[in-house]
Chains A and B, each alone.
Chain A
Amino acid sequence: MLRDKQMENIQELLDASMEGLKDFQRATVTSVMESFDGGAESNRVLVADEVGLGKTIVAKGVIATLLKRHISEGANDGIRQPFRVTYICSNLTLAEENREKLSIFNTTVRAHYVSEPSFSRLLEVARNEKEKIKGKILEICTLTPATSFRLTQGDGNVVERVIIYMALCDNDMLSKHRRKLRRTMQGGVSDERWEREVLYFEESYTLNKKVVRNFHIGLEHDSVGYTDECAWLGLAGDSNYLVILQSLCSMNANNTLLEENRIFVHRFRIKLRGLLARCCAGSLTGDLFILDEFQRFKALLGTDDESEQALIAKEVFKNESGAKVLLLSATPFKAMTRVEDDEAGEAHADDLLFLLKFLMDSDEHKLSLYERGRKGILEQLLSLRDSNKKVEELDAGAKLQVETVLSPFILRTERAQISKGYESVYEPKVTECIDNFSTSDIKSFVALSSIEEGLNKIQKGRYSSQVMEFCKSSPWPMSFLNGYQLFEQVKKNSGKNEVVSALRRSGDAWLSKTAIDRYRLNLAKDASNARVRALVDVVFGNGGDALLWMPPTLPYYQPAGPYIGTDGFTKSLLFSAWAMVPRALSGLLSYESERRNLSGTSRKKKGYFQPERNPIIRFEGDAGIDGWSLVYPSLTLSAIPFSPSSNTPRETKTLIRRNISKCLPLLKKYASGTERRSFWYAFAPLLLDIQQGHDNYVRSWLDSQSVTTWAGVDASGRRKHLQLLERVFTSDTLELGPMPNDLLDFLCELTIAGPGVCATRAWRQRWDVGYAKLAIDAGRVGMAITHMFNKIDSISILEKYYSEFKHWRAALRYCLDGNLQAVIDEYCHLLADSGMASKSASERYAQVCGITTSSVSCQYRDDKNRFVTADESKDPYKLRCHYAVPLGTQRVTDDSGLERVVNVRDAFNSPFRPFVLNSTSIGQEGLDFHWYSSRVIHWNLPSNPIDIEQREGRVNRYKSLVVRRRIAENYAHMLSTGFEGDIWKHLFQLCDQVTKNSRVSDLEPYWHLSVGTAKIERVVPMMPMSREVKRLQEALKVLSLYRLAFGQPRQEELLRNLLHRNLTEDELAHLREKLVINLAPHMRRKRECCIEKTTMSVAAQGSINRKDEPSGLRSSFPSW
């Protein structure tokens, strides 16, 4: 039972958790609550906010509000049960992440009030914990039905099988067969493991009586439907579970070992598991169900699908207990379908109607109201076909009717609805690449065509139009077509005369291995594709090839070296429709970045396929220990502050020098003896900390380094280094010889830009974790960044720009020139802001800096084996992908594929390489790429125009690069000199304050800032005078109007009717006001509030001026 004081405390915490919500999110929470309180009798509410507006935050707000109510309702008689939320989504990672987010309280409070989830798999509903810890008020359970069947065999993992086993043993008819039941259920696990699991169950759990009762009824009454197998067991074809079980249990022990018997038992276990799962689903209880990515479940609603996903969905929606159901989905239905989709039975109108029926629980009255309204809108739209009909004469009545009917069930906020000038953030760069078009484009096409012709002679061809697409999409297309039908056919027929002679003439369609190996191809000149040649200029921009990380949005001093003139550089997100494109472009662009960094010396070294892997910074063996200086998270040096200024790096160093020279005398005493002087560099930072009394800190760090093993490499070399470093603790006898002359200078640079030092400084401003953890976490970041300099692409950059330095010193100089501190601070802000704890954040650094260079296979002109199918993993001639990487070539149907996708996303969402992400349509939805990118390249136009919007939405989100750049441009000067702390947090707060009174919603400044010159580039490179030129024009027109066709059948035809009218800007504004459905709670509330105020003050003040009010319709694209 909770004491009053505690209750008060909780109420306060809950109130505080609502504080974090932005105004439009709060409006949505309020609306959801209104719906739950009667607006939506079905208790089903769909929050369909546009992606990236924080649906999870809204869910959190709903939980907090309901929980508050739950507590105050239970205040008198005590809270018996924690408030149970069951969160259902499609994958484990998301489930884990969101379970934490939805737990409302921060980590420490959470431990007090939030109970451990009772289940995370459906079958676990069948067991109850023996001792539930009292005093908990909230429980968040998660289910991931989509993956749980895949992750294990169909008969469940051992935990699940133990539950089934216990439930079977509980049956009177079966309880005497415990041993034999065990034989049936144990499966492949060892006896010891099985017994341990059973023991654990018996100690910790009891069976859920209701579930087990239903299970037993099912055993007795349900037919298994195993006709053949039953015959084999000598049983009747429609035998129930119990009969079969008894028959199995009566079987001779030896018999069970027969192979066919094992298969039977396995299949029978799957059946048993299914039965128990159904019983569990029937007993799912909870106060609130949240279904994330609802569109996935929706598909299962009207079907006979027997999957776990469908099962859960159906049971949740039966909703006999009156639980509330919150559905989340950014794309609950297709916003716009084309004629082809309509004909394929995927029409938008049907899709929406199906959804409404479900949300309204088939409330015929409401549905007919909606239909009437929709038809009214349609009438209005059709009336516009008459060119005499004026837009001003349109009637908004029908639209308002639809809004009234829908708003309790569907809440949808779109960015454009709640901000001003949202469209102006885009800067179109549509280019017909005429200046890049060259004879090699034509030759490549002619060559590929000749192959196609050769094939045609053998069999009737059907690749004609593909040949055009391939050539438009990629240079040297034959080299990247592996896996496509065309290539497979060539491969199959490569011995036939017709193909042989065609191949002989096809040289221009292939990449040359020799040319790649000798770095002889200049992609900007030699690529046989005009668009790629144009693309090279775009993605390398102002010197991106020499960058290892993005120039910081807010540099702390003037950039130098490779970073001069690189401001405004952005990562590029490229979308294509063909799987070959990510492969080709990633390999080629990365190759080009290497080629551009070749300096005179490295050019003469080994070729592309035997790259020079030296020099590198080593952390083991007999190599020098200097590299450790970069890694070490020095407390002393990180405590020396420096803040943004317009100084040069040299001036910044001079300012720091004073602080450092104060410290140096402390080290004087080690300057005796004749030790190797180079030890000084690694030892000095450690010794400084020891001199300040931070022995334990140094120790924690050293310990954390010793546990590290390098990818299976023997750690003895590492120990050798660590033993040397250990000598700092013998400070009384330590003799390092005379100090090197440049030690002071070196320490200055280290203070400003040493990876470990910068990480420590950034960490101390954000994560209050104590020294021991700081040493580990900041140290991990230092190591991650330092290690990045050992990558092949980094080595040549350092050689090109800092050839006079040793590698490790060059690395430090690079960090200095590249404003590493500002880079780390900015990234840390984003990580911390997304709720990451110290450890996860530092592991994220390790993950993104250490991302393994992937590579892509391709086939070469001068490779005898180009048609030999070989093990791709052993292909020595793959193209490395580091500057640019592919996405969407991975399979995402399993968790490892998904993990790779997430890894790539995280790397792209970091300041470090890759700088170009080449994605197929997979990257269009669900993933965000906005932290460091403000450029979307439409390599192929999507067939549905609204996908253009989807793609661009990827980079236009919360605290995106473009928002940060605009903030830096407009607000950085308002920072006080000598500022310390999280600069970005401060800047956003500042901006929040300034814009408070003038903005439409809290979307500003976090998602959008209306002032500033930074833009999101939409790049559309096209072949001159090609089909795409016209298609783009049409697509953009549709895009500007499609919201008008909400809910209507035959959208494409309908819009075509409107396109004829060439409406003006003003007419469009009228149109959207009168006819576009707006379901954004924020605007509705604002309007209501506004009307109230107006009527309350002076009624005669005139009409409400809504002219400035943004609306969901894109105005148009005058600048395209």
Chain B
Amino acid sequence: MVEGEENLELEDGMEQNLHAKLIVTRHGNNSTWHIGSANTTSAAIGDEENLPRNSEFMLRLTGHVEKCGPQRLLEHLISDEGQGLFVEHEFQERVECDDAETEANLRKLAYILANTVWKLQGELSEDGTITLSLSSTTPPSIPEGYGVQVGQLAVRGAYQPLVNHAVTWGGLSITQVSALLPFRILRENEVGEAELLDTLVIQVLLSLPKGIDREKLILSEMLNSEEKFLSYVKMLLQSDPDKNQWLGYDNSEGGADIINYFLTDEPIFEQLMRAAAHDTGALTRIDRLIDRIKGTDVPIPPTFQKLWEVFRRVKG
């Protein structure tokens, strides 16, 4: 926002290293905005010998709470028909079933849907994506005036009407595949529009083609680079870091400086060593991970592979 305005209004607007905040408070009928960035750093306030280097400022705006209070701001930010900065989750209105008949139909239909043996068959496409088709041996009979849609939990707008023939979804990645499917029950109203009556999630029988180990596929999709693999390993190695130990770090005898112990997360070598000494459980976790990704194309950095071999030997 800031940069945009700046570039519009100044002929040669310079790129600013601005990281502004907005703080909104409310006192009675008044609301105050603090916008900008003003930190009490030495760069900002200088010290005995150095003049300040940064220009720090904050703008204070005060107004009536109805015009600029938190509520008004929220409205502003998330309105605009979903085109605002934030999009609100759409909770769809459910039609209240007043009549007992509808209620009964709904229950019956839900019962039928839940008891149907659904088979979700996955096929691997040439482009590596997965196509899912849903079928059932005995298609459920759907009462007149009602409709059913089935979708994918992880894919927005994937609802399709359930008709006699199988429903298919194409171009899915393995991580999007789930045996849990959302079903919507709809009914046509007086003006011919479909009203949502209910949504239910049903577990279906998922079968993937032979050779697709879904767990492994998910792992390889998640860990599709050496960096990601290493991050995952580091996550597994994270025990409960005790910063108090570092605070007491005694640097009087020289050696590495304390700042690194605070600011950078600990590299793998050091983490592995500590785990070997204090938290062998973490090593077991890595061991399991390595087992699980056997046969996948998760790239393991060769150095790590070698390093791990040694740790595994100690563990064993």
Contact A940 B255 (CB under 8 A): yes
Contact among A386, A388, A437, A920 for B310, CB-based, below 8 A: A437
Residues of B within 8 A of A347 (CB): 49
Residues of A within 8 A of B303 (CB): 432, 434, 1024-1025
Stretch from A147-155, A397-405, A442-450, A1103-1111 that touches the partner: A442-450
Bitwise, B248-286 to A at CB < 8 A (1) or not (0) is 111001111101110010111110011011100000000
> Closest chain A residue to B260 by CB distance?
A1027
Contact A1027 B266 (CB under 8 A): yes
> A1023 in the interface, Cβ–Cβ < 8 Å?
yes
Contact B253 A449 (CB under 8 A): no
Given contacts A464-B245, A1024-B303, contact A578 B270 (CB under 8 A): no
A350–B303 alpha-carbon span in the complex (Å): 45
Residues of A within 8 A of B246 (CB): 464-465
> B53 in the interface, Cβ–Cβ < 8 Å?
yes
Given contacts A437-B307, A1050-B53, contact A469 B277 (CB under 8 A): no
**CB proximity of A1024 to chain B, nearest CB, Å:** 5
Stretch from A455-463, A685-693, A708-716 that touches the partner: A455-463
Residues of A within 8 A of B159 (CB): none
Bitwise, B291-316 to A at CB < 8 A (1) or not (0) is 00000000000011011001101100
Contact B255 A1030 (CB under 8 A): no
A450–B276 alpha-carbon span in the complex (Å): 11
Contact B276 A442 (CB under 8 A): yes
Given contacts A435-B306, A442-B311, contact A1027 B264 (CB under 8 A): yes
A453–B242 alpha-carbon span in the complex (Å): 14
> Closest chain B residue to A388 by CB distance?
B15
A462–B249 alpha-carbon span in the complex (Å): 5
Given contacts A439-B310, A445-B273, A445-B276, contact A1025 B254 (CB under 8 A): no
> A438 in the interface, Cβ–Cβ < 8 Å?
yes
A435–B310 alpha-carbon span in the complex (Å): 10
Residues of A within 8 A of B310 (CB): 437-439, 441-442
Given contacts A442-B273, A485-B253, A1025-B304, contact A1030 B49 (CB under 8 A): no
Bitwise, A647-661 to B at CB < 8 A (1) or not (0) is 000000000000000
> A972 in the interface, Cβ–Cβ < 8 Å?
no
Contact B50 A1049 (CB under 8 A): yes
A1030–B264 alpha-carbon span in the complex (Å): 10
> A577 in the interface, Cβ–Cβ < 8 Å?
yes
> B17 in the interface, Cβ–Cβ < 8 Å?
yes
Q: Please report the total number of A residues contacting B with Cβ < 8 Å.
A: 51
A660–B131 alpha-carbon span in the complex (Å): 97
> A179 in the interface, Cβ–Cβ < 8 Å?
no
A578–B252 alpha-carbon span in the complex (Å): 11
A449–B275 alpha-carbon span in the complex (Å): 11
> Closest chain A residue to B268 by CB distance?
A1025
> B14 in the interface, Cβ–Cβ < 8 Å?
yes
> A468 in the interface, Cβ–Cβ < 8 Å?
yes
Chain A, 735-750, CB within 8 A of any chain B CB: none
Given contacts A434-B303, A438-B310, A1024-B269, contact A469 B276 (CB under 8 A): no
A479–B268 alpha-carbon span in the complex (Å): 27
Contact A340 B257 (CB under 8 A): yes
Given contacts A462-B248, A469-B255, contact A1026 B270 (CB under 8 A): yes
> Closest chain A residue to B253 by CB distance?
A484
**CB proximity of B28 to chain A, nearest CB, Å:** 43
Contact A1025 B248 (CB under 8 A): no
**CB proximity of A181 to chain B, nearest CB, Å:** 49
Contact B245 A1025 (CB under 8 A): no
Given contacts A442-B311, A462-B249, A1029-B267, contact A471 B273 (CB under 8 A): yes
Given contacts A434-B307, A1027-B270, contact A462 B276 (CB under 8 A): no
A484–B254 alpha-carbon span in the complex (Å): 11
Bitwise, A383-398 to B at CB < 8 A (1) or not (0) is 0011110000000000
> A1031 in the interface, Cβ–Cβ < 8 Å?
yes
Contact among B254, B259, B264, B306 for A578, CB-based, below 8 A: B254
Contact A465 B264 (CB under 8 A): no
Contact B49 A350 (CB under 8 A): yes
A533–B55 alpha-carbon span in the complex (Å): 54
A1053–B311 alpha-carbon span in the complex (Å): 39
A1049–B53 alpha-carbon span in the complex (Å): 10
Contact A449 B269 (CB under 8 A): no
Residues of B within 8 A of A466 (CB): 249-250, 253, 255
A437–B314 alpha-carbon span in the complex (Å): 12
Contact A462 B267 (CB under 8 A): no
Residues of A within 8 A of B50 (CB): 1049
Residues of B within 8 A of A450 (CB): 277
Contact A439 B250 (CB under 8 A): no
Sorted nearest first, the 4 A-B pairs with minimum C-beta distance are: A462-B248, A449-B277, A1026-B269, A464-B245
- Cross-chain pairs A/B with CB under 8 angstroms, 11 sampled: A386-B14, A432-B303, A442-B273, A446-B277, A462-B245, A464-B245, A465-B246, A468-B270, A577-B254, A1027-B260, A1030-B264
Contacts beyond the supplied A464-B245, A1024-B269, A1025-B307: 10 A-B pairs with Cβ under 8 Å? A347-B49, A386-B14, A434-B307, A438-B310, A439-B314, A446-B277, A462-B250, A469-B255, A940-B256, A1049-B50
